[in-house]
């Protein structure tokens, strides 16, 4: 995605903000006014604008650092699943590129390593699943690439499966799918989720919309949240077990 400086970037803010909230790995390449153009009609604080909607602001500082700056932005976008606004000032765009880069200059990005859960967390999760009589799995946007793995585990555990609104359709046509969990639940789906003795959110925020302000969680129900970010665990409600790791 690329935009013009100033108003071009501001016109894209809604989409950038939604991408950032969804932790979409994305680079937005945007022009920027040069530092000396303090009275330009296109001059806005693009770094602050990006940060205000949850994106990461990066900058290409010079022709000599252009490759390293771009690789840094790419690593952040891919490895941290962030939306990055990469600013390219007009004076840098018009400057000549260096004839050659020095030896050892970065030219590639190593593959990101998957986040592995702690062994103790896996054992505790396995115990809760084995002990549950009416488990329900709720998959969010973070589990969209783990459909088959979650269905296999659900079949083994005898679990019903549901999704948050943003992952709608992940379990389409599955016999034990409840559809969307939350405000868009059917009366039967809501009743079955409320009857669960274990609810596991896989890459799911378990926020007020997905859990109907907590009304879908009955007293005595154990709640587990699995996410690649430690800060996400328990951010919206109390969980009995938080697991940092990928659902596959």
Nearest to residue 178, comparing CAs of 150, 213, 144, 136?
136
Residues 77 and 137 in one domain: no
Q: Residue 74 in contact with residue 28, Cβ under 8 Å?
A: no
Distance CA 113, CA 58 (A): 23
Residues 229 and 143 in one domain: yes
CATH number at residue 160: 3.40.50.1220
Distance CA 160, CA 169 (A): 15
Residue 111 forms part of a structural domain: no
Residue 81 forms part of a structural domain: yes
Residue 103 forms part of a structural domain: no
Residues 80 and 176 in one domain: no
Number of domains in the chain: 2
Distance CA 82, CA 4 (A): 21
Residue 107 forms part of a structural domain: no
pLDDT on residue 109:
63
- Give the pair of three-digit tokens for residue 3: 């935009």
Task: Identify the domain containing residue 219 by its residue range.
Answer: 119-244
Task: Give the other-Cβ count within 10 Å of 188's Cβ.
Answer: 10
Ranges of residues in the chain with a pLDDT under 50 are none
Residue 67 forms part of a structural domain: yes
Residues 56 and 157 in one domain: no
Residue 184 forms part of a structural domain: yes
Residues 150 and 232 in one domain: yes
The alpha carbon of 203 is separated from its chain's Cα centroid by a whole number of angstroms, namely 8
- Give the pair of three-digit tokens for residue 17: 């903000």
**Residues forming a β-bridge with 243:** 226
Residue 113 forms part of a structural domain: no
């Amino acid at each position: 995605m690329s935009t013009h400086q100033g108003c071009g970037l501001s016109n894209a803010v809604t989409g950038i903000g939604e991408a950032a909230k969804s932790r979409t790995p994305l680079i937005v390449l945007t022009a920027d006014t040069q530092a000396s153009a303090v009275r330009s009609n296109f001059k806005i604080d693009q770094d602050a604008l990006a940060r205000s909607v949850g994106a990461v602001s990066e900058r290409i500082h010079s022709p000599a650092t252009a490759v390293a700056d771009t690789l840094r932005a790419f690593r952040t976008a891919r490895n941290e699943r962030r939306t990055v606004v990469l600013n390219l000032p007009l004076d840098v765009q018009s400057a000549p590129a260096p004839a050659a880069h020095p030896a050892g200059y970065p030219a590639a990005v190593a593959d990101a390593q998957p986040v592995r859960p702690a062994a103790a967390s896996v054992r505790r999760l396995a115990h809760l699943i084995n002990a549950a009589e009416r488990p329900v799995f709720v998959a969010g946007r973070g589990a969209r690439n783990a459909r088959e793995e979650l269905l296999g585990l659900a079949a083994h555990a005898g679990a019903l499966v549901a999704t948050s609104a943003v992952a709608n359709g992940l379990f389409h046509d599955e016999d034990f799918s409840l559809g969307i969990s939350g405000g868009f639940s059917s009366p039967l789906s809501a009743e079955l989720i409320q009857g669960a003795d274990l609810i596991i959110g896989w890459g799911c925020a378990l926020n007020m919309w997905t859990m109907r302000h907590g009304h879908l969680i009955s007293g005595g129900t154990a709640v587990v949240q699995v996410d690649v970010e430690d800060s996400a665990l328990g951010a919206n409600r109390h969980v009995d077990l938080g697991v940092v790791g990928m659902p596959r």
